[in-house]
Amino acid sequence: MKKNYDAVVIGGGHAGNEAALALARTGNKTLLITLHKESISFLACNPSIGGTAKGHLVCEIDALGGEMGVQADKNTLQLRMLNNGKGPAVHSLRAQIDKVAYHKSMQEVLENQENLDILVDEASDILTENGKITGVKTSSGNEIQTKIAVITTGVYLNSRTIIGEDIKNEGPAGFKNATHLTSSLERLGFAIRRFKTGTPPRLESSSINYEAFEVQRGDENIQTFSFMTKKQNPNTHVCHLGYTTPETKQIILDNLHLAPMYSGEIKGVGPRYCPSIETKIVRFSDKERHQIFLEPETRENSEIYLQGMSTSMPRDIQHKMVESIHGLENAEIKKYAYAIEYDCIDPLELFASLESKKIDGLFFAGQINGTSGYEEAAAQGLIAGINANLKLKGRDPLILKRNEAYIGVLIDDLTTKGTLEPYRMMTSRAEHRLVLRQDNADQRLTQIGYDVGLVTEERLKKFKRKMRDIQKLTELCETTIIKPSIELNTYLASVGQTPLASPCPLSNLIKRPNVGLSDLNNHIKSFKGFGKAVVSQVEIQIKYAGYLMRQNELIERTLKLEEKTIPKDIDYLGMHGLRLEAREKLDFMRPLTVGAASRISGVSPADITILLMHLS
């Protein structure tokens, strides 16, 4: 193997793959180090991609030129649009994924990518000189020289799996863990923390009585994750909804002393928004039942993922818990649930570019930064890869603002607020979510992806055609006058609207509740010929024009602070007028803009006023 690379990516999970592909596709000789090829893009927990806010992240990854959305569409078993009964700001794609096919497909992409080599080994030491990255050493003795390193180790650092009293030093699904790199990071001055996550049991499909569950089918003819996907994959599988029982609750309460979460065996901090079933039973003690979902994992076997039953209880207790659920009385457990603890760093030690504040050229992305979820990891990996390439090229980093992307919200939250528990993206975290919809991710980010070298000419041309069609259809809606007719008024009555009494612009008609532009297809001849995505965009823009205008006005006001940059060498400790807490936190965080400084916990509006006076 070569011993000199432009960039080295450590870890072959969702963050590492996006980082490695971004670097290689922008012309950098890149090495991806992974503990085992079988864990490349492995869906260690739920066999799905997307979900509330997470679907937004995948669409943004795709719009920037990343790979996750392409592979998710290619390997979908079932696709659904969550929150369809609410406004478009919170519509979220969620796909059941063939986890085996997804892993194989992503591995093939990596192995065939120009400029990218894969090394099966364990990174053991980060080599530096004068505060700059110089290389990476592996446990087998390889010493690779590099200008850039991206650490994306996921949940593998000193990880251990826990099932009752059965504790093993290993990674997810029995994979080997990484035992050396934490020490290297500590020597470099990084504070190491301990987080925890978990996964539920897998059941044999033939042992389940599906008649006891509610069928959940996929949606047809909806948006896909990738804007380049020409046609949605057919929904070949269904999921099922069920509930735990009062008996399940009692079994858990009677055996709580055996739960590692409560016995003190687990020291790591777990995820607030994806807790174990025993945590839900204790935290929501007034509830007699909790939702569970039966989700297919792959076409290649009959294992069913028992969503909602994450636990680290002993095996015999897991059997009792599963058998207490209606329809699972005779269920066979193929794989037991387990908790997993792992090392991670404090993301406050990173710039918004995801580069370390301590070591020049060292980037971090994914669960090592304290996040949870495949989508959050992939988003960070893509940005870390983009910024690592820009650094190699001598260009300024890409810092997505909070009004530009959910990715911007994610990274800004991590690097200015930090996190004391595994961070999960939610729509409520985005203050500008009406303009950050998953359906317009391409409009927000395609040009940016092209500018950083990841979006292809083909994608850019397709995007520009779409934008021309949106403009043309918008103009048609504003200039086309609709006259009353029996057919039109019958339709309006069917959606609870008053009949049209006099001619009006089509745009006025679209602003009515429940009136869809696509539903008016039979009434407007000039409307035909536009794609579904174009029609949907124009309808949203017309219906929500007033709200969007107010949102954009708010964004313009906040951007004044976001665009006010702060010199990197500013002396906070010697700044007269700042409170001591603000001085210390600003000096540690070193925010790049006044907007970022204003979101740091412990920095008050008065401190920002002092900072602005100093800068002026």
pLDDT greater than 80 at residue 522: no
**Exposed e or buried b per residue across 128-144, where buried means at least 16 C-beta atoms within 10 angstroms of its C-beta:** beeeebbbbbbeeebeb
Strands 239-243 and 333-335 turn out to be unpaired
Predicted local confidence at residue 531, as pLDDT: 87
Helix/strand/coil percent split, the chain, to 5? 40, 20, 40
pLDDT greater than 90 at residue 601: no
Q: Of how many residues is the chain composed?
A: 616
Half-sphere exposure of residue 585, counting CA atoms within 13 Å on the CB side? 20
Pick the most confident of 294-303, 529-538, 576-585: 294-303
For 209-261, write each residue's pLDDT tens digit: 999 999 999 999 999 999 999 999 999 999 999 999 999 999 999 999 999 88
**What is the distance between the alpha carbons of residues 459 and 265, in angstroms, rounded to a whole number?**
51
> Is-above-0.95 flag for pTM?
no
The helix/strand/coil state of 456 is: coil
For 148-173, write each residue's pLDDT tens digit: 999 999 999 999 999 999 999 999 99
**What is the distance between the alpha carbons of residues 63 and 57, in angstroms, rounded to a whole number?**
10
Predicted local confidence at residue 604, as pLDDT: 83
Closest CA to 604 of 582, 576, 572: 582
Average pLDDT, the chain: 93
For 434-445, write each residue's pLDDT tens digit: 999 999 999 999
Predicted local confidence at residue 353, as pLDDT: 97
Half-sphere exposure of residue 218, counting CA atoms within 13 Å on the CB side? 24
pLDDT greater than 80 at residue 521: no
Predicted local confidence at residue 598, as pLDDT: 86
Query: pLDDT grade, residue 36 (50/70/90)?
Result: very high
Q: Mind listing the domains of the chain with CATH numbers?
A: 202-339 (2.40.30.260), 457-549 (1.10.10.1800), 564-615 (1.10.150.570)
Q: Locate 339 and state its tokens.
A: 């908790």
Query: pLDDT grade, residue 428 (50/70/90)?
Result: confident
Mean pLDDT of 90-114: 97
